[in-house]
Structure 1
Amino acid sequence: MQTYTRDGLTFDVTDSGPADGEVVVLLHGFPEDRQAWDKLTPKLVEAGYRVLAPDQRGYSPGATPKGRTSYGLHELGKDVVALLDAAGVEQAHIVGHDWGGAVAWQLAGRHADRVRTVTVLSTPHPAAMAWAFAHSDQWRKSGYMVFFQLPFMPERAVLRQIPGLYTKTGMPAEDAAKYAERFRTPQSLTGPLGWYRSMPASGAMLKAMRGRGKSASPPSSDGAPRPSRKVQVPTTYIWGSRDFALGRAAAEKTGEFIAGDYEFVEIPGAGHWLPEANADEVAEALLRRVRG
């Protein structure tokens, strides 16, 4: 399959590997696209897995709705469920990096019946992230999220920083060049920034980011309080010790929100761009997880 649809939106997807293999879904982050997995996919295919890597909402040209509420995590998670339905798959191994990791946590918590295992790169469990806002310097690391709420200006600011935005924080130059080609206009960044603009629907997230958050978990994307639920599916969390955006406090706290089979993999010296810069280490941990 090359595309699939949901609610009038058309998503581009790369479908690799044997049609009868266990399915691994790869969810990219910001500002990336399905090319993030180009180094990892061949390793999974060689191991016998079918790999589905979509350009997610806001990234696929046919799936860029207007309005910040269109980019809430509940919608992003349902997009992946629709992908599984279109592929005829009851359950899949879910892998996510950065914002794709947030979607992976959403699926593991809210659609666990469709998730065989979950592997998250860089992004801590949302309850651990909320805790870190109030108990560490994470709110400083995440301060850019407040700026991203503004109209128009963030698109131009991010565009001016590409490709240095990537290379200065550890991404290989050849990968940075691909994304510089992908995001060439302010308009190409509006959909991706919609994910950030969906966040502070109730203002609670902004409060937490100022270091005054009290709750153990952030609000849902529609502003309603979200109960702290422990993830029940087998889980691996992979974190780079030099991640510029996501600190150690939330990384180490994540395990408290996982019930049962859990592995925390710290890659010493690695930064944020794990799929591009640390594909071998990621593949090793991921294959260990999906093989059980």
Structure 2
Amino acid sequence: MAGDSAPLSVPSAGVTLAVHRSGTRTGPTVVLLHGYPDDHHVWDRVVPLLDDHDVVTYDARGAGESSAPSARAGYRVERLVDDLVAVLDAVRPDGGAVHLVGHDWGSVQLWAAVFAAGDDPRLRGRIASFVSISGPDLRLYGAYLRTSAREHRWRRLAGQLAKSSYILAFQVPVIPELVVRAAPDRVRQALARSQGLEEDHWADSFGTTAANGLNLYRANAFRSASSPLPEPTDIPVTLVIPVEDDFLSPFLYDGLSHYVRHLSRHEVSAGHWVPWTRPEAVASTVRETVSAAPGTN
């Protein structure tokens, strides 16, 4: 078992990322990326279950120990993909392929990288597989909403829009930041209770991380959802779908096989924070996905 006592500082597109590494360097490299409003600690229960892998976690820009960009444009998906490239260059300078695992916004940004890997020379051949947990590609999310409306699937459309209503609240200027910065403990406790989590699930940096991360939604939600649809990918993808997710409907992924040629789907009886509440299910799925991916280590 090998691990870093302090994070590796990796510069990327105007920020510095805090990168953590554990496990064994001789195993396959697995990169775990958290969502909103988490930092890398959301994987703390998964990482020990993958101790025979080379496990990399990092705090996304604006979260945890990583620095924040100076402008909202610094949170665009393109910059998040730049961050992944910087991390890969730091942990696998040999250009070897890695296995990606993302939750929530971690999954959203990794989808962008997976779909870009066919054309982006920085990523070509460097992604062996992808496990997506509770985070769709934003372009396909937008397509789902448009298709549901066009085909008069009003119940499905209304259900997902209700689950996503918080995104509109996040577009309000200033007020959301003031709330999470002024009363981070109350926000943290309320969210933990609603999701069946321990009240200390989030660290003391919750207020700053949550305030910064609002820009993920403001910089990307409507812009990316109306962007052209991606070309299909050959990278193997495994979906982990918590069927009790308060924020995302399982129906979101129904047409995904048109864009992912090698797709598996695992439903889990859990809520949104499945890496924390069902770490054994996540670790088992990661192991299966890594083992099935061809010709990587």
TM-score (structure 1 length as normaliser): 0.84
- Alignment correspondent of 1:214: none
> Over aligned residue pairs, what C-alpha RMSD do you find?
2.0
Q: Secondary structure at the match of 1:266?
A: strand
Deviations 1:105-163 (A, max 9, x none): 01111125221101100113434422332322212211111111222211244434212
Gaps of 5+ in 2: 1-6, 119-123, 149-156, 293-297
CA contact (8 A) 1:95 1:119 kept: yes
Gaps of 5+ in 1: 206-217, 220-224
1:163 aligns with 2:189: yes
In 1: Cα distance, 2:267 partner to 2:196 partner:
16
Q: Secondary structure at the match of 2:90?
A: helix
In 2: Cα distance, 1:107 partner to 1:252 partner:
21
The equivalent position to 2:47 in structure 1, one of 33, 41, 46, is 41
What is the 5 A alignment of 1:214-225?
A: 218-219=225-226, 225=227
Give the aligned length. Answer: 264
The equivalent position to 2:100 in structure 1, one of 87, 94, 101, is 94
**Which amino acid is 2:234 matched to?**
Q
CA contact (8 A) 1:131 1:250 kept: no
Deviations 1:43-66 (A, max 9, x none): 111xx2101100111114452012
Structure 1 residues 178, 130: CA separation in 2 closer, same or farther (over 3 Å shift)? Answer: same
- Alignment correspondent of 1:145: 167
In 2: Cα distance, 1:86 partner to 1:141 partner:
37
- Alignment correspondent of 1:233: 235
- Alignment correspondent of 1:126: 138
1:6 aligns with 2:32: no
Deviations 1:151-204 (A, max 9, x none): 221124443421221231233x1xx41415231x4x44332111111025xx56
In 2: Cα distance, 1:241 partner to 1:93 partner:
24
- Alignment correspondent of 2:214: 193
- Alignment correspondent of 1:31: 37
In 1: Cα distance, 2:249 partner to 2:14 partner:
38
CA contact (8 A) 2:39 2:63 kept: yes
In 2: Cα distance, 1:51 partner to 1:116 partner:
15
